[in-house]
Structure 1
Amino acid sequence: MGDPASVVPLEFVAVKDSLSYEDVPVEILDCQVTRLRNKEVASVKVWWRSPSVEGATWKAEVAMKAKYPHLFPSNSTPA
């Protein structure tokens, strides 16, 4: 038996021809630099909005800047 509260309305899902959809990043919540043995890795906490779930995850800053530059202020300095 299904739960009617967990049904996602179709008008909110933008399904592509390949029958997939893309999560949409809403904003950058936080940033951190993790120090490994011989390098530092910059990460950002991203707030995502998707049809299935809303939430935040940590992602690599370089990858997020390359794919979603509009989320980063133009006057920010590289980490």
Structure 2
Amino acid sequence: MDFAGCSDEHLPLMEFSYNNNYQATIQMAPFEALYGRRLWTPVFWEEVGTQQLMGPKLVQRIGVVAYRLVLPPTVATVHNVFHVSMLRKYTPDPTHIIEDEALPLREDLSYEEAPIKIISRDVKRLRNKEIPLVKVLWGNHLDSEATWEREDDVRKSCLKLFLEQPTFGDESS
């Protein structure tokens, strides 16, 4: 594939591919190392007549290490050629069935993260400075995926969370 002259156009896809590709030096993908879990790629159930099949279908080998896939219309903006290291044989498992929750994906396959709740507060004390932090629960994420953010950053972007939330750590029990 020739990216000469248009690399900035394809940068999000190249970054996505790199961050989700197994790295031998760290024995996992960079995304998994950073977030402690594997990234779920956009593979959805699609009904075709009376037969159900799982998302992508392999249709063509491209060179020695790449394959072209047929993707469901819900992920039509994803480039359909994948390196062999990104592909694995799927073994059906009923626990893999998830509700198809439509995320409003942008053209570059990103989506807007929206904080929905502050679940805890803390203060990081440095030598000469105190940094107030809040633990934020994000939309489309599990409680276990809540992140610690600087309070002033969250306050700037979503003041309503502070108006709706009780104060933490001030209870005397």
Q: For 1:1-79, list aligned pairs within 5 A.
A: 1-2=89-90, 5=96, 9=100, 11-50=101-140, 53-54=141-142, 55-73=145-163
Gaps of 5+ in 1: none
Give 4+ residue runs of structure 1 displaced > 3 Å after superposition.
none
TM-score by length of 1: 0.71
TM-score, normalised to structure 2, is 0.36
Per the alignment, in what secondary structure is the counterpart of residue 72 of structure 1? Answer: helix
Deviation (angstroms), 1:64: 0.3
SS at match of 1:21: coil
C-alpha separation between the residues in 1 aligned to 2:148 and 2:130? Answer: 15
5+ residue gaps, structure 2, are 1-88, 167-173
Q: Which amino acid aligns with 1:35?
A: R
Task: Report the structure, 1 or 2, having the larger strand content.
Answer: 1
Report 1 or 2 for greater relative contact order, CA contacts < 8 Å, sequence distance ≥ 6. 1
CA–CA distance in structure 2, aligned partners of residues 29 and 67 of structure 1: 17
Structure 2 letter corresponding to 1:67: S
User: Aligned-pair distance for 1:70?
Assistant: 1.3
Deviation string 1:9-39 (CA, Å, 9 cap, x unpaired) is 2x52011234310122110011111110000
RMSD of the TM alignment (CA)? Answer: 2.6
Tell me, in whole angstroms, the C-alpha distance in 1 between the residues paired with 2:115 and 2:137. Answer: 6
Identity %: 33
Choose between structure 1 and 2: higher helix proportion.
2
